[in-house]
Amino acid sequence: MLTRTLPPGITVTARVPASSANLGPGFDSLGIALGLYDEIVVRTTDSGLTIRVEGEGADDVPWGPSHLVVRAIERGLESAGVWANGLDVLCRNVIPHSRGLGSSASAVVGGLAAARGLAAEFDAELACDDAELVQLASEFEGHPDNAAASVLGGIVVSWTETGGPVGSGVNGSADHQRSYRAVRLDPHPALGATVLVPEERSSTAHTRGLLPDLVPHADAAFNASRAALAVVALTQRPDLLLPATADRLHQGYRSSALPLTTTWIARLREAGIAAMVSGAGPTVLALSTEDFPAELREGAVIDGLRVLRPDISDGVRVD
């Protein structure tokens, strides 16, 4: 593909939501987009790279070419067959980092969407559709649940199709060509989300390492039924949310690493609220058609949890 150079002075802003993966039984498949937004402003310049980071994680991430947003922008430009001699990048972060709210997927989706927005401003035929954006972002992540939610919004069901052997992928780990797919479902209009965010962080690699290689057939069958039921509960029958969000594949194995999370999930479920680990944790996601009870909110704050009630988002937007 012939690479064309973008002129200086093109500016776009990507507004990308947080996400919560699994939703209980839908391990590495189900996801929901949450209205906590990172904003990425990108402008083409004559030369060099300038990056500024504000808000969440500003002191913890590199301010240079290794920043995840910058890497995603470069990949997005490459996929469109364009390049920029220089970039000015501003990241305004709201999504908590390493809390199970898809901050890395949001960074990748935001960077890719901004890059393709720059390309489309240069040539409208270079606009990127949602399916391509899901594929590009999932290649970075290695799984599509968070990325698809941030792209498509609402509730997503995602899956991976594996083709024949090829070379290494974006992260150097893929042995096969993988096609990442997702469909969006519109949530029930009364459905609301509450997240309880601990101060401590969690490593996805660590919590994934706690999962066994094999699980009992009965547990797999249990989760298959609950994941199917979750699709119905989330979109049509929210009265079924409590049984539909039960899980036997991953949350129990991770409980030793997430004691506060586990305690609050049990407390909320005993109160009849569908609560689960958000992604790899430690955030608790609660889904309900009712307001979050004041006494539980007060108790969570006493335990050092931030209690947020984001809207269910419609996905990334680029202006």
Find out if CATH 3.30.70.890 is the number for domain 192-308.
yes
163 burial (CB, 10 Å; 0-12 / 13-18 / 19+) is exposed
- In the chain, domain spans: 4-156+314-318, 192-308
Give residue for tokens 């539909």: 244
Handedness of CA 288, 293, 296, 297 (dihedral sign): positive
Binding residues: 96-106
Q: Do 155 and 235 meet the contact criterion of CB atoms below 8 Å apart?
A: yes
CATH class of 4-156+314-318: alpha beta
pTM score, two decimals? 0.92
Backbone angles phi, psi at 192, to 5 degrees: -130, 160
Three-state SS for the chain is CCCEEECCCCEEEEEEEEEEECCCCCCCCEEEEEEEEEEEEEEEECCEEEEEEEECCCCCCCCCCCCHHHHHHHHHHHHHCEEECEEEEEEEECCCCCCCCCHHHHHHHHHHHHHHHHHHHHCHHHCCCHHHHHHHHHHHHCCCHHHHHHHHCCEEEEEEEEEEECCCCCCCCCCEEEEEEEEEECCCCCCEEEEEECCCCCCHHHHHHCCCCCCCHHHHHHHHHHHHHHHHHHHCCHHHHHHHCCCCCCHHHHHHHCHHHHHHHHHHHHCCCEEEECCCCCCEEEEECCCCCHHHHHHHHHCCCEEECCCECCCCEEC
Q: Do 32 and 19 meet the contact criterion of CB atoms below 8 Å apart?
A: yes
CA distance 287 to 15: 24
Per-residue pLDDT of the chain (319 residues; tens, 9 = 90+): 568 999 999 999 999 999 999 999 999 999 999 999 999 999 999 999 999 999 998 888 888 899 999 999 999 999 999 999 999 999 999 999 999 999 999 999 999 999 999 999 999 999 999 999 999 999 999 999 999 999 999 999 999 998 654 433 444 444 458 899 999 999 999 999 999 999 988 777 777 778 888 999 999 999 999 999 999 999 999 999 999 999 999 998 888 889 999 999 999 999 999 999 999 999 999 999 999 999 999 999 999 999 999 999 999 999 9
> How many other C-beta atoms lie within 10 A of the C-beta of residue 242?
18
Report the DSSP beta bridge partners of residue 180: 160
Q: Report pLDDT for 1.
A: 55
Binding residues for ATP: 96-106
Q: Report pLDDT for 202.
A: 72
Q: Report pLDDT for 166.
A: 41
Query: Tokens in use for 106?
Result: 């949001």
